[in-house]
Chains A and B, each alone.
Chain A
Amino acid sequence: MDSGLTLRNVTISKGDQCLLQVDHHISAGHVLTVMGPSGVGKSTLLSFITGTLAPDFRAQGRVLLDGEDITDLPSHTRGVGILFQDDLLFPHLSVGANLAFGLAQGGGRQERLAKVAEALKEIGLEGFADRDPATLSGGQKARVALMRMLLSEPRALLLDEPFSRLDMALRAQIRTMVFDRARARSLPVLMVTHDEEDARAAGGSVITLGAE
């Protein structure tokens, strides 16, 4: 039925204190930006959606993805991709192995290696498969992290201040890249940020938390 990511009456609280309330539908290919100063619990909303909410928080409401209720599913079966401000490439794996880790299951070894090589080419890093991720530049790491996430074929995309660690020139470039890919795959995107520029570039609706 309704494709996209739906947050139905989501309330997150810690102890007696209510941190946030969201009721919103993000249609496929659109972006919802959640803004607010640090510490108001923007990131807890994302952990609730990925299923990794810390036990000292309490959450109510449902999360629906393409009409299916994913609220009680284990994290790894939700099909929700996420990018953080740090690239978080696995430091013990090569660049290629990082991508292969993300690549959805199936296919023979040769086939998977070919897909990884193709993905590297797509982000302008042809021949980087055997490299140590620690030796990449900031922009290169960000591109690998994005590609790793896309290869897992998520049905929605969460962004947790994803561009705040990048310098100005790079930020615009990576931002465009992320939003373009998300749109091309018709992914609903939920972005958490405190950067007005991010919100403008996203071009979707904006919710501001902790405004009162």
Chain B
Amino acid sequence: MRRGLWAAPSKRMRRRRFLPLLPALTLLAMLGPVAAGLWWTLLPAFGHLPAAGLTGPSIDPFNALFDWQGLPRAAFLSLSTGLIATAVSLLIVTLVTAGWSGTKPFRVLERLLSPLLSVPHAAAAFGLAFLIAPSGWLSRMVSPGLTGWERPPDLLIVQDTWGLTMAAGLVAKEVPFLLLITLAALGQTDARQSVNVAQALGYGRLTGWLKTVFPRVYAQIRPPVYVVLAYSMSVVDVAVILGPNTPPPLSVQIVKWMSDPDLAMRLVAAAGALLQLGLVIGALVLWRAGESLVAFLGERWICAGRRGRWDGVVAGTALFGGAAAALAVLLGLLVLAIWSFAGFWGYPDALPNGFTMRNWMRHGDGALEALGETAFIALVAATAAVLLTIGCLEAEYRYGLRLRARTVWLLYLPLLVPQIAFLPGLQTLLLGVGAEIGRIPVIVAHLVFVLPYVFLSLADPYRAWDGRMGTIASALGAGPERVLWHVRLPMLLRPILTAFAVGLAVSVGQYLPTLLIGGGRVATLTTEAVALASGGDRQAIGVYALMQTGAALIPFALALLVPALVWRNRRGLRYG
């Protein structure tokens, strides 16, 4: 009789057969568009574009690409900004963690992490530009008092030819990301013990950390470091806002070719995209070689037994760098907010003449419309990503599938292949098959980038869930579905909502997929804001960038608030 009560209904049977398919489906959603996009980038790069009446193979596109005079400079900019931004970010994060983890200043940085992380790249880039431009806030605050400037000095700071400001903007955004990853890796090493032992042997805190903990931590954060490198080399929105113009970095030039009305220019764009992919691969190889060099030198350094005489100075400098990166983003947001409410604000006044709602009234309708589009795309993409991720993790749990270290790289693959390398191909493919370019393809493209981040955010808490809870529940007669929906998911409400917020923030910040796959017809806050970059209407930029930041930031606040409210009477879940 009892058996009758527990017999599995047919619905449950169906789901059980569906669940094992989810990991494959997830991989397809993540890697399918990348593979297809790369293929349809490869074809036109070798002169094959039936839509334009061209059939290959030919190497004319590459000839045209190499005929472009700006190419050496554009390629160099991609390499230099990428390598500088990655190296500086990693250096700051490593030294700050080495010198300060467990101290008060470090906890302040930790607390700023989530908000800093969720600020979209474009908004952070605008904020930095408004801060450090010759007519920016910093210059206004010391002028004319300290500098005597009555007019903005004639300096090329933003969009400088060397791409240094662009690299700085990337550093400000990548430092929080790498710090978060490092903290997660630290949780899996007994760092404190190692440092204590090293300190007992007379090593300074920073030197002791570098010599004992860093090798273990770096082994774990290596994939995200590569992601930062690939991203920094090929980013478009930050480059449009902060990068040089004549010539721009390669990725920006590719987008220009893609939007040329002459279809033949797509061939050049495809060739450029392949070159960009080659550059990223080359830089990754170079970085890998650098790792070996650092490991070799590090071993000698450890062997030499130096105790770290300069620890104090190095730690201080690193903390200054970390604080500067955080402040650049926070002050940038502040100055964006001021501009969005500014009436007339002439140079060199430190503040506008007056504050007004006029900018918001003027741009509010357009911004709200873009917000609706942004929210719709983000909600669908993030929901799909969370469901697929839970399905994968649950399949892993139920069928005892183990993700091996090598499979973890699959998660990083869509983040390692530069967007600019495969999105043009994806667009060509969609146009070729006559698919309606618009919202749904844009959501599919967003999912490629949203999925890995959602998965990485949710996987650890999901796996850390005490499996004995599941044993207890099934010993009480609860089937796998009941355990999932009534025990596991409610207990994991907070990490699930956090992962959802991560997914929303990633989607909100996407520029290139929206621009290329949306064919210019899908206007989100990000595409609208970046489009304003060349116009120089600071009030309008302030409104859009602030809305963009809010769209990414508010979900994070809700992800903290909702579980706190739902579980306000459940002490066992308050910190869970």
Question: Which A residues form the contact surface with B (CB < 8 A)?
Answer: 47, 50-52, 54-55, 74-82, 84, 86, 88-92, 101-102, 104-106, 132-135, 148-149, 152-154, 158
Query: How many angstroms from the CA of A101 to the CA of B469 in the assembled complex?
Result: 13
A92–B573 contact, CB under 8 A?
yes
As a 0/1 sequence over residues 490 to 529 of chain B, the CB contacts with chain A under 8 angstroms (1 = contact) are 1101000000000000000000000000000000000000
A132–B474 contact, CB under 8 A?
no
Question: For residue A74, which residues in chain B have a CB less than 8 angstroms away from its CB?
Answer: 8, 474, 479-480
Interface-facing stretch out of B147-155, B284-292, B335-343, B564-572: B564-572
B570–A84 contact, CB under 8 A?
no
Report if B134 contacts A (CB, 8 A): no
CB distance from B378 to the nearest CB of A (A): 28
CB-contact partner of B572 in A55, A133, A148, A158, under 8 A: A133
CB distance from A25 to the nearest CB of B (A): 21
Report if B296 contacts A (CB, 8 A): no
CB distance from B574 to the nearest CB of A (A): 8
CB-contact partner of B570 in A77, A92, A154, under 8 A: A92
Q: Is the interface of A mostly helix, strand, loop or mixed?
A: loop
Number of residues of chain B lying within 8 A (CB) of chain A: 36
Closest B residue, CB atoms, query A54 = B400
- Which residues of B in the span 350-373 have a Cβ within 8 Å of any Cβ on A? none
Report if B487 contacts A (CB, 8 A): yes
Query: How many angstroms from the CA of A95 to the CA of B575 in the assembled complex?
Result: 19
Closest B residue, CB atoms, query A97 = B486
Instruction: From known contacts A82-B472, A101-B486, infer whether A152 and B477 are also in contact, taking CB-CB under 8 Å.
Output: yes
Instruction: From known contacts A54-B400, A90-B487, A101-B486, infer whether A82 and B466 are also in contact, taking CB-CB under 8 Å.
Output: no
- Which residues of B in the span 446-502 have a Cβ within 8 Å of any Cβ on A? 466-480, 482-483, 486-487, 490-491, 493
Instruction: From known contacts A90-B491, A91-B572, A105-B5, infer whether A76 and B477 are also in contact, taking CB-CB under 8 Å.
Output: yes
CB-contact partner of B479 in A51, A76, A89, A152, under 8 A: A76
CB-contact partner of A52 in B8, B466, B471, B576, under 8 A: B471
Question: For residue B468, which residues in chain A have a CB less than 8 angstroms away from its CB?
Answer: 84, 86, 88
CB distance from A178 to the nearest CB of B (A): 15
A91–B491 contact, CB under 8 A?
yes
CB distance from A3 to the nearest CB of B (A): 15
CB-contact partner of A154 in B8, B470, B475, B487, under 8 A: B475
A91–B475 contact, CB under 8 A?
no
CB distance from A83 to the nearest CB of B (A): 8
Instruction: From known contacts A52-B474, A90-B469, A101-B478, infer whether A76 and B6 are also in contact, taking CB-CB under 8 Å.
Output: yes
A81–B475 contact, CB under 8 A?
yes
CB distance from A1 to the nearest CB of B (A): 18
CB distance from B62 to the nearest CB of A (A): 51
Question: For residue A47, which residues in chain B have a CB less than 8 angstroms away from its CB?
Answer: 471
B466–A88 contact, CB under 8 A?
yes
Closest B residue, CB atoms, query A47 = B471
The 5 closest A-B pairs by CB, nearest first: A91-B572, A55-B400, A134-B571, A134-B572, A75-B474
B5–A149 contact, CB under 8 A?
no
CB-contact partner of A75 in B5, B475, B570, under 8 A: B475
A82–B471 contact, CB under 8 A?
yes
B476–A152 contact, CB under 8 A?
yes
CB distance from B453 to the nearest CB of A (A): 26
Report if B309 contacts A (CB, 8 A): no
Instruction: From known contacts A104-B477, A106-B5, infer whether A88 and B572 are also in contact, taking CB-CB under 8 Å.
Output: no
CB-contact partner of B571 in A104, A135, A158, under 8 A: A135
CB-contact partner of B569 in A51, A79, A104, A132, under 8 A: A132
As a 0/1 sequence over residues 159 to 176 of chain B, the CB contacts with chain A under 8 angstroms (1 = contact) are 000000000000000000
A105–B491 contact, CB under 8 A?
no
Question: For residue B2, which residues in chain A have a CB less than 8 angstroms away from its CB?
Answer: 79, 104, 153
CB distance from B319 to the nearest CB of A (A): 38
B572–A102 contact, CB under 8 A?
no
CB distance from A68 to the nearest CB of B (A): 10
CB-contact partner of B475 in A90, A132, A149, under 8 A: A149
CB distance from A42 to the nearest CB of B (A): 15
Contacts beyond the supplied A76-B477, A77-B6: 7 A-B pairs with Cβ under 8 Å: A74-B474, A77-B477, A78-B475, A81-B476, A82-B475, A91-B572, A149-B476
Query: How many angstroms from the CA of A86 to the CA of B570 in the assembled complex?
Result: 18
Query: How many angstroms from the CA of A88 to the CA of B471 in the assembled complex?
Result: 10
Query: How many angstroms from the CA of A51 to the CA of B467 in the assembled complex?
Result: 13
Closest A residue, CB atoms, query B489 = A92
A88–B490 contact, CB under 8 A?
no
A–B pairs, 30, beta carbons within 8 Å:
A50-B471, A52-B470, A52-B471, A74-B480, A75-B474, A76-B6, A76-B474, A76-B477, A76-B480, A77-B477, A78-B475, A81-B476, A82-B472, A84-B468, A88-B468, A90-B473, A91-B491, A91-B570, A91-B573, A92-B487, A92-B493, A92-B570, A92-B572, A101-B473, A101-B476, A102-B477, A106-B5, A134-B570, A149-B475, A158-B475
